[in-house]
Amino acid sequence: MTRTLLVELLTEELPPKSLEVLSTAFANRLFDLLVQDRLVDGNSRWQSLATPRRLAVVIDAVLSQAPDKPVTISGPPVSAALDKEGKPTPALLGFAKKCGVPVEKLRRARAEKGEVFVCDTVLDGSRLSHALDLHIEDAIRKLPIPKLMRWGSGDAQFVRPVHGLVIMHGTEVLDSDVLGLKGGNNTTLGHRFLTSEPITFVQAQDYEDVLQQNGYVIASFDKRRDRIATSLGDHAATLKAVWFGHANLSPQEAILLSDGERAKVSQLLDEVTALVEWPAIYEGHFDKEFLVVPQECLMLSMMQHQKYFPLLDKTTGKLLNRFLIVSNLETSDPKNIIAGNERVLRARLSDARFFFDQDRKTRLETRVPRLAAVVYHNKLGSQLERVQRIQKCASAIAEKLGANTEHAERAAWLSKADLLTDMVGEFPELQGTMGQYYARHDGEDATVARAIEAHYHPRFAADTLPEDNIGCAVALADKLDTLVGIYGIGLVPTGDKDPFGLRRQALGVLRILSERALPLDLLELLQIAKLTFPPGVLADSVAVDVHGFMLERLRNYLRERGFAQDEVEAVVGQNPTRVDQVIPRLSAVQAFRALPEAQSLASANKRIRNILRKTTVAQTEPDPALLTEKAEKNLYAATSRLLPSVRSLVSSRDYAAALRILAGVRKEVDTFFDEVMVMADEPIVRDNRLALLAQLETLLNQVADISKLATLSSAG
C-alpha cells in the first residue's frame, strides 16, 4: 500500500526573498531521492509548502518498503576464475563468498571484454523508516543557502534555527533524528498570534487543511500569493484605483504602468507572501502635501522600505495618497495597525520631500565638475572623464542620425549629475529619473530632460527603449562606453560572472539598433567609442572583440524572438554590422525556406562551400570562353543574369524579393552538379569551374548564408 508522506520543518523566520526557492529545492530533492530508492510509484506527486516559519513537503503514494530488486553482479573473467584444470581460483571463490552463494550457483555471461562469471541475486527494497532521515538531511545539505546558522549546544546547521519536526506516513508517526531533533511527533505550531495551542495531525494528507482551519496558516505559497493578489485587487476596485500588480487589468489600465513597475510589484508580492501566514489587507493614507514629490520616489519608498502597495488613479494613472498594507494579523479593529504604518511612512516620505527640496536648490550643471572626484574605474578614470567620453560619442551618433547634436551633447553632459543628489544617494534606482525631474526644474530643453532619463534604458530585458533619436544617441553612447572600456581593459565576462553587466549592456545596444531600426553600423560605433579613450588604455582589437561578443548576445536575443537556430546562424554567421537589417533578413530567410526550391539550393550551397573550402580559386571571374559543357554555360548565364538584380534588391533592402529570385536558378544548379565534373583533370578548366562556383556562392549568399538551412550534408 502507498500512503501520503509529510515532512515539516518548523523554524524561526526564514529569509523572505529566498523562501520560495528553498521550499521548491527541498521538496524536489527529497522526492528525487525517494524515486531513486523506488519508494514512490510513477503516479506520485509532490507539493512544496512554505510559510515564514516552516518548510514542508507533502508527497502522495509513498511506499513503506520498496519492492525487492533482481540484480546481476559481475565477477571475475573466466580466464582468471578457473585454473588450467578448470578448478575455481581464489578470485572466483572470493566472489562467490562475497555474493553469499556456492560457486555452483554462479553462471557465465558475455561482457564487453569477454566472458565473465556473474551472480543473480535479489536486493531487499529500501525501507522508508530507515532511509528517510538520511534523505531529509541530504535535501537540507543541498539547499542553496549562502550562510548557515547554529543554535543551542548542538552541531546542527540550517538557514534559521529549527525547533520542530513532523514526519508522518499516512497515520503513522515516524521516529526521526534530523538536525538534532529526535523522536516521533505529529504536532506543530499555528499562527504566532492567532493561536495558542499546538496543532495535531491525524493523517499526513490533511496537513494543509488542518493547518488552515485550526492554525490560521495558509501553508501553500502559491495559494497565499493568489489570496493576497485577489484581496489587493478587490480593495483597489472599491477605491476606483489601480493596483498594478493585478493580473486582470484592462488595456486602458495597463498602459498606465511600465513593465519595470509591474516587475517591482511582482517582486514585492512574492516578498510579502513570504512574510505572512494569514494575510489581511488594510488601507492607509498619507498627507496629500507629499504628492508634490515625484511619484517614483514615493512609490519606491513605500514598496522598498515599508512593503506597501501604492495605488494609482484609475483614470489618470497618478499616484493617490492611499496605499494598501498586507498584515500578518487579522483583527476586527485594525486602527492601531493602520496608524502605526501611517506614522512610519510619514517619516519616510518626509525624508523624500526633504531630499527633493534640497536637491532642487542646486542646478544639475553645477554638479557635473564634482564628478571628477567620483572614480568610475581606476583604469578608466573618473565619472567626469566618462561623461566627457559619452558626450563626444553621443554627438557623433546624433550627427549620423540627423538629430540635434547640441541637445545630445547637453543631455550627455548632464546624464550623470544626479548621482550626486541626495535623492539618488538614498534611492540609487532613481538615477536618470531624478535627473529628468531636476533638468525640467532647471529649465533645460524637454528633449534633453527626456534623454537624461532615457539613456539608462533598457535597464532589463523587457524594459522600454528611448523614444527619440537624442535619447537613443545618449543611451547608445553610455552603453558603448561601458562595453568598450570594461572589455578593453580585460574584464571579460566568464561563465555566469558578469559584474559590470556587459551582457545586459550589449543587449540594450542591440535592442535599440534593431527595434528602433537605426541606420547605424555597429562596428563603426564601437570604433567611435574606442577613439574617445586616451591612446594605449584599451586593447587595439577591442572594437572587433566586442563586436564578436555582441553577436553572441544577438544570437540569444533572436532565438528568444522565435527564430530557428539555423535561420539565426544563416544571418548572424555572416558577422553583420548593420543590426537594424538582421531581423528583415531573417524574415526573408523564413519566407525563402518555405519555397519548394529552398532545400535543394541550401544543400547545393553547402556543397559549394565544402568544395571551395578544400581548394584555392586561382581566378576571380569565370571565363565564358572556357565553358565547354552545356550545363555550365547555362549556369553561368543564369548567374550573370540574376546577380545584378539580386544586388539591386539587397541594396534597396527588399531581401524577400532577392531570395525569391534565387529560386529561379535551382534547375541550372541541379543540372550542373548532375552533369559537370568540377574537379576536372585540366587545371584551366578546373579553375574556371571553381570561379563559376565562387560566383554562384556570391549570388546565393547576398542576403544570408543559405547553406545553414541544409538538413543534409552533401559531398564535395
pLDDT at 248: 47
Boundary (domain end) residue, out of 359, 383, 405: 359
Out of 309, 329, 359, a domain closes at 359
Q: What is the dihedral of CA 640, 645, 649, 650, to 10 degrees?
A: 10
Say what the pLDDT of residue 125 is.
84
Last residue of a domain, one of 180, 215, 250: 215
CATH number reported for the structural domain that contains residue 632 in this entry: 1.10.730.10
Q: What does the pLDDT look like over 445-491, one tens digit per residue? A: 999 999 999 999 998 877 889 999 999 999 999 999 999 999 999 99
Residue 577 lies in a domain: no
User: Is residue 650 assigned to a domain?
Assistant: yes
Please indicate, yes or no, if residue 572 is contained in any of the structural domains: no
| pLDDT (tens digit per residue) in 353-395 | 999 999 999 999 999 999 999 999 999 999 999 999 999 999 9
pLDDT of residue 618: 63
392 lies in the same domain as 530: yes
d(CA 320, CA 25): 40
**pLDDT given for residue 665 in this prediction:** 85
Q: Which residue has the cell 578470485?
A: 91
Give the separation between CA 152 and CA 180, rounded to whole angstroms. Answer: 10
Q: Is 239 helix (H, G, I), strand (E, B) or coil?
A: coil
Cα angle value 639/641/646 (rounded, 5°): 80
pLDDT at 715 (0 to 100): 36
What's the CA angle centered on 248, arms 245 and 254, to 5 degrees? 70
Task: Give which of 588, 579, 571, 569 is closest to 523, Cα–Cα.
Answer: 579
Cell 572583440 sits on residue: 545
CA-CA distance, 526 to 142, in Å (whole number)? 44
CB-count exposure of residue 544 (10 Å: 0-12, 13-18, 19+): middle
Q: Are 485 and 538 in contact (CB under 8 A)?
A: yes
How does pLDDT run across 71-116, given as a tens digit for each residue?
Answer: 888 999 998 888 888 899 999 999 999 988 998 889 999 887 789 9
CA distance 565 to 593: 13
CA dihedral 691, 692, 696, 697 (to 10 degrees): -30
Q: Is 228 in the same domain as 284?
A: yes
Least reliable range by pLDDT among 38-42, 283-287, 587-591? 38-42
Q: Is the pLDDT of residue 19 over 90?
A: yes
Domain of residue 507, CATH code: 1.10.3210
Examine the domain organization and report whether 178 and 141 are in the same domain: yes
- Structural domain count of the chain: 5
Shared domain check, 232 and 200: no
Alpha-carbon distance of 167 to 29, in angstroms, equals 16
Greater confidence (701 vs 166) lies with 166
Mean pLDDT of all residues in 195-210: 95
Do 109 and 133 have their domain in common?
Answer: no
Round the average pLDDT of the chain to a whole number and report it.
90
| pLDDT average, residue stretch 439-448 | 97
Q: Is residue 323 part of a domain?
A: yes
What is the pTM assigned to this prediction? 0.79
Decide: 699 and 642 in contact? Cβ < 8 Å.
yes
Crossing angle for the helix pair 383-400 and 405-414, to the nearest 10 degrees: 160
Place of cell 528611448: 466
Q: What is the pLDDT of residue 642?
A: 87
555 shares a domain with 411: yes
- pLDDT tens-place string over residues 113-140: 789 999 998 878 889 988 999 999 999 9
Both 489 and 394 in one domain: the answer is: yes
Could you tell me if 311 and 322 are in contact, meaning their C-beta atoms sit under 8 angstroms apart? yes
In a domain, 526, yes or no: yes
Q: Any long-range contacts for 461-466 (C-beta under 8 Å, 24+ apart)?
A: 461/507, 462/259, 462/263, 463/258, 463/259, 463/260, 464/258, 464/259, 464/260, 465/511, 465/512, 465/515, 465/516, 466/512, 466/516
Does one domain contain both 522 and 467? yes
Same domain assignment for residues 476 and 598 = no
What does the pLDDT look like over 9-18, one tens digit per residue? 999 999 999 9
29 close to 142: Cβ distance less than 8 angstroms: yes
Which domain covers residue 705, as residue numbers? Answer: 587-709
Report the pLDDT value the prediction gives residue 464, as an integer from 0 to 100: 87
Band of residue 619 on the pLDDT scale cut at 50, 70, 90: low
Q: What pLDDT digit, counting tens, does each position of 307-361 carry?
A: 999 998 888 878 999 999 999 999 999 999 999 999 999 999 999 999 999 999 9
Of 248-252, 458-462, 607-611, 642-646, the range with the lowest mean pLDDT is: 248-252
- In a domain, residue 576? The reply is no
Asked whether residue 101 is domain-assigned, the answer is yes
With cut-offs at 50, 70 and 90, classify the pLDDT of residue 245. low
* Pair (351, 268) in one structural domain: yes
- Cα–Cα distance between 225 and 539 in angstroms, integer? 51
Q: Is there a contact between 15 and 59 (Cβ–Cβ < 8 Å)?
A: no
Q: Do the beta carbons of residue 496 and residue 532 sit within 8 Å?
A: no
Residues 302 and 345 in one domain: yes
Question: What letters, b where the CB count within 10 A reaches 16 and e where it falls short, cover 35-51?
Answer: eebebbeeebebbbbbb
Give the model confidence (pLDDT) of 142-156 as tens digits.
Answer: 999 988 999 988 888
The reply to whether 581 falls in a domain is no
E strands, 146-225, are: 149-150, 157-158, 162-169, 172-173, 177-178, 181-182, 187-188, 199-200
> How far apart (Å, rounded) are the C-alpha atoms in residues 65 and 59?
15
* pLDDT for residue 708: 87
Q: What residue type is assigned to position 455 of the chain?
A: H
Does residue 299 surpass a pLDDT of 50?
Answer: yes
Please report, to the nearest 10 degrees, the dihedral formed by the alpha carbons of residues 673, 674, 679, 682 taken in order. Answer: -120
Looking at the structure, tell me whether residues 632 and 690 fall in a common domain.
yes
